[in-house]
Amino acid sequence: MAIAATIPSAQFGGLRPAECQGLVKKSVEPILKTENLWKLYRAGKVEVPALRGVNFAVQPGESVAVMGPSGCGKSTLLYVIGGLASASRGTVLVDGNDLAEMSDAERTKLRRSKIGFVFQRFNLLPTMTAKGNIAIAQYIHGDGFDPHRFAVVTKLLGLEGRLNHKPSEMSGGEQQRVAIARAIINEPKILLADEPTGNLDTKNSDVVLEMLRQLNKELGQTIVMITHNPEAVTYFDRVVHMRDGVIVDGIPAD
């Protein structure tokens, strides 16, 4: 007799054992997926492939580091999956949405509602305080200022004592944490980070990486980070290596 059949249905929330087995077998769809993804750039009459048939998937709540040497295509991959650049061919699915089938306006709306970006350069508004730089993202999103979400994010990122300071009055690590707060303040389903520690010293790099890990573990934030820093990968669930426009493997982080 199957084990499930010996347990009262009440223990399964009122479902019959057969229905429960169906729920257990149901797999979670990736929140981000590419299939045979190509990106070609033209140099004169020559086509140069930056991505060559990339197959890549990220599950909801997963943190993935993409590593590789300069010119391997990792930043191009981030721009394409983030809808900042179009694929030459292949499929990009973001939360079930096929980017190739969307207009520019639809992709812009999707980015605004589902994706947060963090770049190597902080891109903060120099005349605004940390609070203003974060809050403006909420107003642009259209929902207005949410004090509860603001308090949760700034506390988690250790910014409570720096909110009234302008970028010129903050360290590089603090500025990057403000940029991360701005990226996640509207609860995007995916956070894409392109070399977020590239301009930071070792101490500040470790602080920012630990903050990203906390966002993933405590808030369930899905994160894809591009890096060439081998020490950064220890903060992530999975490491993917790229070379010459292709993914060469995917291994669990130590």
Q: Nearest 5 degrees, angle CA 23-CA 27-CA 31?
A: 130
pLDDT digits (tens, 9 = 90+) for 110-150: 998 999 999 988 999 999 999 999 999 988 877 778 889 99
pLDDT digits (tens, 9 = 90+) for 37-86: 999 998 888 999 999 999 999 999 999 999 999 889 999 999 999 999 99
d(CA 243, CA 74): 9
pTM: 0.83
- pLDDT value at position 250? 52
> Coil, strand or helix: which one is 46?
strand
> Coil, strand or helix: which one is 179?
helix
Dihedral of the alpha carbons of 75, 80, 86, 91, in degrees to the nearest 10: 140
d(CA 117, CA 105): 18
Residues 40, 41, 42, 43, CA torsion sign = negative
- pLDDT value at position 83? 94
- pLDDT value at position 139? 87
Band of residue 225 on the pLDDT scale cut at 50, 70, 90? very high
- pLDDT value at position 181? 94
Q: What is the mean pLDDT of the chain?
A: 86
pLDDT digits (tens, 9 = 90+) for 2-49: 444 443 434 334 444 444 444 444 568 999 999 999 999 988 889 999
Higher-confidence position of 7 and 203 = 203
d(CA 6, CA 11): 11
Compute CA 86 distance to the chain's CA centroid, rounded to the nearest angstrom.
18
Residues 119, 125, 129, 134, CA torsion sign = negative
